[in-house]
Amino acid sequence: MIKTQLHDDVLEVVIDNPPVNALGARVRQGLWAAIADAQTDTAVKAIVIRGAGKLLSGGADITEFGKTTAEPGLPELVDAIEASAKPVVAAIHGIALGGGLEVALGCHYRIATANTKLGLPEVTLGLLPGAGGTQRLPRVIGVEAALDMIVSGSPISGKRAADIGLVDRLAEEGTLLAEAISFARALDAPRRTGDVSVSADPAIFEAFAAQNARKIAGLDAPSACIKAVRAASELPIGQGLEKERALFAELVAGTQSKALRHVFFAERAAAKIDGMPKDIAMRSIDKVGVIGAGTMGGGISMNFLSAGIPVTIVEMAQEALDRGVSTIRKNYEATAAKGRLTADQVEKAMSLLTPSLAFDALADCDLVIEAVYENMDVKKDIFARLDGTAKPGAMLASNTSYLSVDEIATATKRPQDVLGLHFFSPANIMKLVEVVRGAETAPEVLATGMDLARRIGKAPVVSGVCYGFIGNRMLTPRLDGAIEMLVEGATPDQVDQVSVALGMPMGPLQMIDLAGVDIGWHRDPTRIESVRDALNAAGRWGQKTGGGFYDYDEKRRPSASAAAQAIVEQFRTEAGIAPREITDEEIVARTLYAIVNEGAKILEEGIAQRASDIDVVWLNGYGWPRHTGGPMFWAEQVGLEKVVDTLNRYRDRLGPGFSLSPLLAQCAAQGGSLFGDAGA
């Protein structure tokens, strides 16, 4: 775990704990011993600390949080490094995150490669840097720069770190160690960050909190980070460190951090396919075809273009093709206008795009994704044609949101090559991709689909075949419940507020307005069978027409709509329903617990591999708030017994199609967990 080597009078200390050199108990003990021994070893004049493999360190061992672990703790270790009577230099390459950077801050000097990533991402785990980072970083780079790094959690490059004084020198990776050793040898004495004091106008902290109010609302960690950095500017280091530790202890025991740590591991677990051999040979995907240049087809194409993978996009009519290509360009140019892409990058991406009206242009693609509208006959027709066009071994994917990938696969003679790649709109932005495994999908096709989705920066989750897959199947009872409650007497605002209070960016009715009330509409204004039909018939298709369940102003801000209310009331009267008072508890049951119930069914049917995958779907595709961990984790925090009891009490209101998930009922009755023995 810790290796040492003496280079004449400089001791090299190497942290070697693959894969990320996490600072678990044994690493801390080893480092502690190495530093202590060096103090009494007269042969040692100075010390260099570095990481083995690709990085210095990914930080504290996250699996240890919430458990009692062996001494020394990371804060004590960093204090001991700083207290060393002999100069200590951190030689940083690859990554120094969280506790990894805090160790480097305890060192007296820092030397790094230009492309190293240095950061304090603890806030993304619902924590603050708890090993002195909030006290030492402001002392090194100033309060404002430290606030930015600590509250955003975003890393900076070694080059930038050198510019702002976080590292003393830059070096090439090949000579980093040698330079660190000669740098250390030339040092006369330690330079301790703790000896420095830093002051700041208290107004900075209030201004910073106000500027970031929207981003940090409802979250415990960012405000604790601000308090801790403020302490650095007001207290001597010893008291500041005490304050930091007290704030850290509160956060680590809190539900938000527990949830965010769950999310960290859930997102990594989602990448794993149960039963898949690790060394499975992937298919190589160097060229992608996309059928359909509409909103979805265009958005899907952008992911590949941005990742440097050429795309052939096929449409039936020139006008639709031109419109699709110009929308892609406009989207890229809008990003460039915000400074997030250069003009060259835009041109590079566009140069990888080949628009075509000819289906045959797909013949040399390694993967073809169909992104036309939701109609089984149309999709089967396309897959039958693809069967005659695509080269042998090409993967054939459908972007269907609801339809059976197995039925689509029957249109080909190669069902083993068929899978679903369900992107979410806007497909160039939303991270979720459901990778749908059909009954016949070959293992390497599924593995390649997952790998490719990660290559283009997505958060892929494996789903089995069922109507709506994981996400949309769970969405259905939520949206149905929301609309039914309007008819029964609730207002849109009342329904939506329950979700917003949980931390979602919007409630279910606002979401329908955003996506389009007319999605899936039969387009016959005389056939009115639902409130949605009635809104559509009145031209209230959502935000895009200025109104749906709400009215929208030119900035797309919602307000209560008298017109929508009148439509709902008319529908209510015609259905012979007397309005009644609807409680928040009922809204929770019908728009949130109903999702959990459907999720539990998805789990027991084996559609999702694990409960945490369901959480990843809702976190990355539906705006579920990360600090509550996802619907399944959240349900366990609420208590499964309470969830089941409430669902049972509202059973009559949950519609004729409702049935309680046996798995959920069983876990609730026996104190079990949807996450298996380990619990959430």
d(CA 65, CA 52): 24
What character string, x for contact with ligand 3HC (CB under 6 A) and - otherwise, covers 255-294?
----------x--x--------------------------
Among the options 12, 64, 76, 122, which is catalytic?
122
Closest CA to 397 of 469, 445, 461, 459: 445
Q: Confirm if 443 and 280 have CB atoms less than 8 A apart.
A: yes
- The residue from 129, 324, 449, 477 that contacts ligand 3HC (CB under 6 A) is 129
Residue 212 C-beta: closest distance to ligand 3HC, Å? 20
Residue 397 C-beta: closest distance to ligand 3HC, Å? 25
d(CA 121, CA 130): 11
CA 138 to chain centre: 28
Q: Confirm if 383 and 412 have CB atoms less than 8 A apart.
A: yes
d(CA 371, CA 467): 17
Q: How many residues bind ligand 3HC (CB under 6 A)?
A: 25
- The owner of tokens 């052939």 is 312
What character string, x for contact with ligand 3HC (CB under 6 A) and - otherwise, covers 100-119?
--x-----------------
Residue 133 C-beta: closest distance to ligand 3HC, Å? 6
Q: Does 326 bind ligand 3HC (CB under 6 A)?
A: no
Residue 58 C-beta: closest distance to ligand 3HC, Å? 3
311: enclosing H helix or E strand: strand 311-314
| Other Cβ atoms closer than 10 A to 265 | 12
User: How far is the first Cα of the chain from the last one, in angstroms, to the nearest whole number?
Assistant: 30
Among the options 12, 82, 102, 598, which is catalytic?
102
Nearer to ligand 3HC, 129 or 299 (CB): 129
Nearer to ligand 3HC, 120 or 483 (CB): 120
Q: Does 616 bind ligand 3HC (CB under 6 A)?
A: no
Q: Does 62 bind ligand 3HC (CB under 6 A)?
A: yes
Helices (H), 113-219: 133-141, 143-152, 158-163, 176-185, 203-211, 213-216
Nearer to ligand 3HC, 125 or 291 (CB): 125
Q: Does 19 bind ligand 3HC (CB under 6 A)?
A: yes
d(CA 548, CA 546): 7
Nearer to ligand 3HC, 12 or 122 (CB): 122
Q: Does 394 bind ligand 3HC (CB under 6 A)?
A: no
d(CA 657, CA 460): 30
- The residue from 98, 106, 158, 477 that contacts ligand 3HC (CB under 6 A) is 98
Q: Does 556 bind ligand 3HC (CB under 6 A)?
A: no
Question: What are the Cα distances from residue 342, in Å, to 146, 327, 345, 426?
Answer: 28, 18, 5, 22
What character string, x for contact with ligand 3HC (CB under 6 A) and - otherwise, covers 63-82?
x----------x--------
Q: Does 59 bind ligand 3HC (CB under 6 A)?
A: yes
- The owner of tokens 């273009």 is 305
Nearer to ligand 3HC, 127 or 514 (CB): 127
Q: Does 20 bind ligand 3HC (CB under 6 A)?
A: yes
Residue 179 known to be catalytic:
no
Of all residues in this chain, which one has the CB nearest to ligand 3HC in the complex?
A: 98
- The residue from 81, 112, 131, 643 that contacts ligand 3HC (CB under 6 A) is 131
Q: Does 155 bind ligand 3HC (CB under 6 A)?
A: no
DSSP 8-state assignment for residue 108: S
d(CA 144, CA 138): 8
Point out which span in 17-25, 321-329, 344-352, 561-569 binds ligand 3HC (CB under 6 A).
17-25
Q: Does 219 bind ligand 3HC (CB under 6 A)?
A: no
- The owner of tokens 């952008």 is 302
Q: What is the 3-state secondary structure (H, E, C) of 581-599?
A: CCCHHHHHHHHHHHHHHHH
- The residue from 30, 106, 126, 130 that contacts ligand 3HC (CB under 6 A) is 130
| Other Cβ atoms closer than 10 A to 172 | 10
Residue 458 C-beta: closest distance to ligand 3HC, Å? 14
Residue 586 known to be catalytic:
no
Burial of 256 (0-12, 13-18, 19+ CB in 10 A): buried
d(CA 510, CA 516): 10
Residue 45 C-beta: closest distance to ligand 3HC, Å? 30
Closest CA to 187 of 45, 79, 81, 90: 45
Residue 247 C-beta: closest distance to ligand 3HC, Å? 11
- The residue from 10, 15, 22, 288 that contacts ligand 3HC (CB under 6 A) is 22
Q: Does 122 bind ligand 3HC (CB under 6 A)?
A: yes
Closest CA to 514 of 496, 537, 489: 496
Point out which span in 123-131, 186-194, 495-503, 616-624 binds ligand 3HC (CB under 6 A).
123-131
The catalytic residue positions are: 102, 122
The residues binding ligand 3HC (CB under 6 A) are 19-20, 22, 58-63, 74, 95, 97-99, 102, 121-122, 125, 127, 129-131, 133, 265, 268
